Amino acid sequence: MPSSGQNALFGMGNPLLDICAVVDKDFLDKYGLKPNDQILAEDKHKELFEELVKKFKVEYHAGGSTQNSIKIAQWMIQEPRKVATFFGCIGKDKFGDILKKKAAEAHVEAHYYEQSEEPTGTCAACITGDNRSLVANLAAANCYKKEKHLDLDQNWALVMKAKIYYIAGFFITVSPESILKVAKHASEKNKIFALNLSAPFICQFFKKSLMEVMPYVDILFGNETEAATFAKEQDFKTEDIEEIAKKAQSLPKENESRQRTVVFTQGKRGTVVAKGDKVVTFPVVEIDQSEIVDTNGAGDAFVGGFLSQIVQERPLEDCIRAGHYAANVVIRRAGCTVPEKPDFH
């Protein structure tokens, strides 16, 4: 098996501390939340964070979509440690210290840009049944600066070391110029750059930045809701997920020697993949509804599993199987957490 060396996988995104709680419908209604959504916190959500902690039993987990995926990839790989590198911005505070500690425990080489203007970002994960509504208060995560961190020689050296790059679409709201710098590097050096649509609001309100990055995207991830929103915004004139995957695949591409692969998950329904001239649906691992603790982090885990195999140059089928395996492990647990070792062969 090709060895995945240290720093072979690079991720950059919003490091957040997840505040998870099982809530009721009244709580969702009070703050105008959909049961299954991802949004950025607005002024009307300020009290939500306080009420969540006061009223419900909360658990704190190191989160942030890209960081979750990078950690899961490292967990799947196990050895060597520090195959995965992560960049993002945190505050100089207790929550920031927790994120640093959790990254170290996960054997991820995290290089945070630390600043004191804003506190470390948080994400309220409001769980009802097998739905999760995420409200992110980016705070420090929103302060990532290309010239203050990514451009520094010692940091850029880590970027250059990598072979596979992954960034969740969420980071488009923070530093599109950082994403473009990494994406262009990957394209010029014929390395693999992967991006996640991440949320309907990214496809809707950050369309311009998203489409500036798209020509550099070798692997595009998303779920069925994001795919549908993307198709509508791009005027694909179809609601058929396989058609959407094909159309997303054939959007303009900078590095033509590497055709884009599109991967759309659909929860318990199969994962749709457009690769080459085919669209294939891969069934997910069956799970009893009663065994699902919460689906928060399932999508991140899928990507992490997928990345763990592509770093080792495994075929697409193995990438999908590993993604499904990792997601199946995570939905049996609270937050995007894992047991000590994977059982994946």
Angle at 12 between CA 11 and CA 18, to 5 degrees: 100
Write down the residue that tokens 């709201």 correspond to: 173
Q: How many residues does the chain have?
A: 345
Q: How far apart are CA 98 and CA 340, in angstroms?
A: 19
Buried b (16+ CB within 10 A) or exposed e, 141-176: bbbbebeebbeeeeeeebbeebbbbbbbbbbbbbbb
Structure tokens at 236: 């694909």
Pick the catalytic residue from 29, 153, 300, 343. Answer: 300
E strands along 64-169, which residues?
84-91, 109-115, 121-128, 131-137, 164-168
Q: Which residues contact 225 (CB under 8 A, 6 or more apart)?
A: 36, 200
In whole angstroms, how far apart are CA 319 and each of 80, 93, 282, 307?
19, 37, 11, 7
Q: How far apart are CA 257 and CA 166, in angstroms?
A: 19
What angle, rounded to 10 degrees, do the helices at 298-310 and 65-77 form? 50
Q: For CA atoms 251, 256, 259, 262, give the dihedral sign.
A: negative
Among this protein's residues, is 18 annotated catalytic? Answer: no
Q: How far apart are CA 66 and CA 71, in angstroms?
A: 9
Q: How far apart are CA 282 and CA 242, in angstroms?
A: 12
Residues marked as catalytic? 300
